[in-house]
Amino acid sequence: MKIRDKTTLLLASAAVFILPSFADAATEEYVQINASEVLSSLNDPSLSGEDRTKKFNAYMDEFTDMNAVANFAIGKYSRRFSEDEMARYRVAFRTYALSVYENELDAYRGEAVVVKNSVDRSANDSIVNTVIKRADGQDMDVRWRVLTRKGEYQVVDVALNLDGNLIWLGIEQRAQFLSLLDRTNGDANALIDKINSMTKKLEDSRAN
């Protein structure tokens, strides 16, 4: 084998082993930067409540593909809803999901996100493990599922580790949405009404 061929083979072999670790590092960096920005957006004292929500929502829209998450939450029904039902559902879901995330993450506003490590489930599906360091010492283990879709990173679910009990917010939501749809013969309006009522409760509780 010629030296040039050997070099090519060596580089190709190295790439096979090295590239995944580069991918890991890039995914971890993506979460580190974006999660920190999201949390800092909740802690900007110069913004009014409304402006803070707007800024948070803008970051979340960059951070995740809300339509894809909405599809995931209703599983097989995403193919059964009519276009109109799907459009109304997506609007309701987006509003609700952003409220949930704002509420859940509000407890960690302004805190530092520290990446611990990451696990690749496949070439396009990784979990980034982070710790959110809180000033009161109650650090939180938060895990981010990141997919590479169309060449871009997207966070598609977030898990909170509560005493060894890993709660994936999207998966929890999906289990309940699917059950509600199963029990109402796939009635999109029943789900949309329920989501809207939950959003209203969240907004009311935040206002009080």
Tell me: does residue 163 bind another protein (CB under 8 A). yes
Contacts from 112-121 at CB under 8 Å and sequence distance 24+?
112/36, 113/31, 113/32, 113/35, 113/36, 113/39, 113/142, 114/32, 115/28, 115/29, 115/31, 115/32, 117/28, 118/24, 118/27, 118/28, 120/20, 120/23, 120/24
Nearer to another protein, 10 or 175 (CB): 175
Residue 179 in contact with another protein, rule: CB under 8 A: yes
The answer to the question of residue 174 lying near another protein (CB under 8 A) is yes
Distances (CA, A) of 113 to 69, 110, 128, 134, 201: 23, 9, 11, 9, 29
Q: Which stretch binds another protein (CB under 8 A): 9-17, 22-30, 32-40, 176-184?
A: 176-184
Q: Which is nearer to another protein, 37 or 72 (CB)?
A: 72
Q: Is 30 in the site for another protein (CB under 8 A)?
A: no
* 157 part of the interface to another protein, by CB under 8 A: yes
Question: Interface residues with another protein (CB under 8 A)?
Answer: 68, 71-72, 74-76, 78-79, 119, 121, 125, 127, 145, 147, 149, 156-157, 161, 163-168, 171-172, 174-177, 179-180, 183, 191, 194-195, 198, 201
